[in-house]
Amino acid sequence: MENMDNWNQFLIAQGARSTHVDGAVPDTNIADFGQTLTTVQLQDGFVSTVTDQGLIGITGDDAATFLHSQLTNDVEHLNQQQVRLAGYCTPKGRLLASFLMWRNATTIYLQLPRTIQPAIQKRLQMFVLRAKAKLHDAAGDEASQIVLAIGGERANAALSAWFEQLPATPFSKVEHALGTLLRVADAFGQPRYQWLLSAANALDIWTQLAGTLNKGGNDAWRLSEIHAGVPQISLPTQEQFVPQMVNFELLGGVNFKKGCYPGQEIVARSQYLGKLKRRTTLVSIADAGAQAGNELFAVSDPEQPCGMIVNAAPNGAGGVDALAEMKLAAIEQGSGEVGAVRLGSAQGAAVQFLSMPYVLDALDL
C-alpha cells in the first residue's frame, strides 16, 4: 500500500488523478499529464512523463542466451553500461516488436509499448522451453514505477543536481541510488535521457525538474523520439516492416554477425541483396488525426499506397510530426515537390518532408 500512496502523491503533485483499483499495481497509462510541447521547447530543454511504455524483465542463468536466439541484436555481449535497440521478428522477417534493451547484474530489460507487451511477453515465454530464463512484468517493480524523459540544451545542467557523471554517449547508462539513467538517441543535436525510478523518489525530482525545464506529457516524449529518428513498432504496425524498412540497422538495432533468430535469413537477404527499396523518413502533416498505421499516397501514383506512418505525435502547431516508411522514389519526389505525397489518399493532407538526424543510406532498399 505504501507504493500505491507514493503513486497517488506523484499524480497529485502534477495535477493528475489516479483511477486505479485499490491494491492493484499502478497503471501509469492512465496519467498522461503535461501540455503538448513544440520542437523549439524540446530543443531548449524538457522533462516529461513516459506513460505508454511497458517493461519486460528477464532473469535466470540462460536469460542472455535465450534472448540472443530470439532478437535481432547481440544480447550475450551486452554489458551493464550499454543500451541497445533490438527487434523481434516473425519467421518471415517482419517486426512484431522493437525494444529498448539494457541490463543490470541480475536482469535484462526490454522496453516496448504497453499495448503489445502482454502478447509479446507470452510469445517469448512460449519459446523459453528448458532454458533457465524467467519473464515478468517489470513495470510493477518499485525501481521502475516511474519513467521520466529529459532532453534538450538544458538537460545536462538540470540532471547535474543529482548525477556527478552522466552517460557520455547515446545508448549508454549509469546506475544511481535514485534509479537508472539511460541515455538514448540524441534529438536536435542535444542529449536525451530516460530516468527509471520509484514513485517515492520521483516526487521531489519531478517538482525540481518541472520547475526548470519545459514540462510535457507522453506526447512530448514521443515527439522527441520521432525527431531522433527512432521508430517503435506498435499495435497498428506489427508485421508491416522488416527492420531495414524502419532504419533499424542504421540505429544499431541489427547485428548481422550474430547467430540465428526468427526471420534472420530474410533480414540478412534484405541487407545484402537489396530488394526492398524502402526507408523511413521524418515528415510533418497538418492533420491532428494522423496516426500510426495510416497509409500515404503519392499524387503521381494514386491507386496504391506508397508508404505508412510508423509513429506520430502532436507537434504543438495543430498537426503531427511523424516517422513515415515509404518507397525511396516517393521520398525523393516528396522531398523536392511540396504536396507530392499525401495522407490517406491522393487528395489528403500534404506531407511535408523534414531533415533526418542521420543519413539515410539507401542501400538499394
* 318's grid cell: 495543430
> Residue 64: inside a domain, yes or no?
yes
Instruction: Answer yes or no: is 343 within a domain.
Output: no
Whether 25 maps to a domain, the answer reads yes
- Domain membership of residue 186 (yes or no) is yes
Secondary structure class of 272 (helix, strand, coil): helix
- Grid cell 540462460 — which residue? 62
Name the nearest CA neighbour of 54 among 196, 182, 205, 246. 196
Edge-to-edge strands of the sheet including 172-176?
Answer: 172-176, 179-187, 190-197, 146-151, 46-49, 214-216
Instruction: Name residues whose C-beta falls within 8 Å of residue 235's C-beta, 6 or more positions apart in sequence.
Output: 113, 115, 116
Q: Tell whether 265 is covered by a domain.
A: no
Residue 84, number of CB atoms within 10 A of its CB: 21
Identify whether 294 is part of a domain.
Answer: no
Q: Is residue 146 part of a domain?
A: yes
| Integer CA distances (angstroms), 351 to 145, 289, 334, 354, in order | 38, 13, 8, 10
pLDDT number for residue 203 = 86
At 14 the pLDDT is: 52
Q: Give CA–CA dist 18/215, Å, rounded.
A: 19
Give the pLDDT score at 10.
Answer: 60
CA–CA distance, 20 with 18 (Å, rounded to integer): 6
Q: What angle do CA 221, 177, 35 make, to 5 degrees?
A: 20
CATH label of the domain that carries residue 102: 3.30.1360.120
The pTM of this model reads 0.91
pLDDT at 271: 80
pLDDT of residue 275: 64
pLDDT at position 324 is: 98
Per the structure, the complete domain to which residue 98 belongs is given by: 2-227
Q: Is residue 254 part of a domain?
A: no
Number of structural domains the chain divides into: 1
pLDDT lower than 50: segments of the chain: 1, 3-4, 15-31, 364-365
Q: What is the pLDDT of residue 362?
A: 59
